[in-house]
């Protein structure tokens, strides 16, 4: 869940973007309901659902979660159900994509951000799907998983770009930028590709899925172990209004959001707000719109 800090949108552009993403969510949920695949709002999207009955006013993306078995089944039926208007973006579907997070993208659109501007793949208006995998009981194993998943996630991003967003300035920025460029060059030199690193990441993330454990998490970010959630706190899902549709949140959504964000009902000051702040956005059939 890495983000660039808040930048002001043109209100009409943001509203239009949120409308497209709401339709994307509806289309995905319709397929999930057809195949009985629980799909739930998480992170900022879940906050928006309970605090605003839709998007957080400045938010510009949708995050949903699925248990791994449901996520895998969803990908199996995706082409049959959604390929006319959407595409799945992972390093396995496009070797130029260097990120752990699965994107469902709207075809014939463009959405390029500061963090994705150096990626070579097609960057479109998207929503994120986070598969949730088992967390072992052993703190030692949890720590091992955290280290490995974080390592592969960072290497994966650097395999696609040697210039990630670095939230520092001065000498520290230059040192870290140089280190990133060196790692990027090393990965390129030895042909260590995004698909290879993604497969390693997935192998680590799913290592304990052959047994039944109480907790699951999404290994896509460094807070994954801290933010683990009981399966019994996810299912059965609760139906809630979201914009002009209905969506689903975990059974114990409040406890999960408090663990991740603290007092999530408190609206943060402007300097603590985050979004994806596009450099270029293009809606289907329209000319591109350029940011600052």
Mean pLDDT, rounded, for 239-257: 97
**CA-based angle 218:51:12, to the nearest 5?**
95
**pLDDT tens across 10-22, in order?**
899 999 999 999 9
Q: If residue 48 lies in a helix (H) or strand (E), which one and from where to where? A: helix 43-51
Question: 């709207």: which residue's tokens?
Answer: 106
| CA distances, 156 to each of 178, 179, 263 (Å) | 17, 15, 33
Whose CA is closest to 113, among 15, 17, 12? Answer: 17
List alpha helices for 83-221, DSSP H: 139-160, 170-189, 194-205
CB-CB contact of 64 with 25 (8 Å)? yes
What are the boundaries of each domain within the chain?
Answer: 4-290
Q: If residue 248 lies in a helix (H) or strand (E), which one and from where to where? A: strand 245-249
Distance CA 24, CA 27 (A): 5
Structure tokens given for 144? 């091992």
Give the count of beta carbons closer than 10 Å to the beta carbon of residue 216: 22
**pLDDT tens across 66-105, in order?**
999 999 999 999 999 999 999 999 999 999 999 999 999 9
What's the confidence (pLDDT) of residue 1? 39
What's the confidence (pLDDT) of residue 43? 97
pTM: 0.93
Structure tokens given for 42? 């998480």
């Amino acid at each position: 869940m890495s983000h660039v800090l808040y930048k002001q949108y043109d209100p009409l552009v943001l509203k239009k973007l949120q409308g497209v993403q709401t339709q994307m969510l509806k289309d995905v949920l319709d397929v999930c309901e057809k195949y009985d695949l629980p799909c739930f709002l998480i992170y900022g999207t879940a906050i928006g659902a309970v605090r605003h009955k839709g998007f957080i006013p400045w938010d510009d993306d949708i995050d949903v979660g699925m248990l791994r078995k449901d996520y895998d089944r969803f990908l199996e039926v995706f082409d049959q159900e959604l390929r006319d208007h959407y595409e799945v973006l992972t390093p396995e579907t496009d070797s130029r994509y260097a990120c752990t997070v699965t994107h469902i993208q709207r075809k014939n659109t463009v959405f390029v951000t500061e963090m994705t501007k150096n990626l070579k793949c097609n960057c479109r208006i998207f929503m994120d799907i986070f598969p949730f995998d088992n967390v072992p009981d052993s703190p030692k194993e949890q720590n091992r998983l955290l280290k490995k998943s974080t390592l592969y996630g960072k290497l994966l991003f650097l395999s696609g770009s040697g210039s990630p967003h670095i939230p520092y300035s001065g000498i520290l920025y230059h040192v870290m930028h140089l280190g990133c460029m060196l790692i990027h060059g090393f990965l390129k030199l030895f042909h260590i590709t995004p698909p290879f690193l993604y497969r390693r990441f997935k192998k680590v993330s799913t290592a304990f899925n052959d047994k039944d454990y109480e907790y699951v998490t999404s290994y896509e970010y460094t807070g994954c172990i801290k933010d683990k959630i009981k399966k019994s706190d996810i299912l059965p899902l609760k139906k809630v209004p979201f914009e002009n549709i209905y969506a689903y949140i975990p059974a114990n959504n409040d406890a999960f959001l408090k663990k991740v964000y603290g007092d999530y009902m408190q609206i943060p000051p402007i300097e603590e707000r985050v979004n994806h702040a596009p450099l270029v956005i293009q809606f289907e059939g329209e000319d591109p719109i350029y940011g600052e």
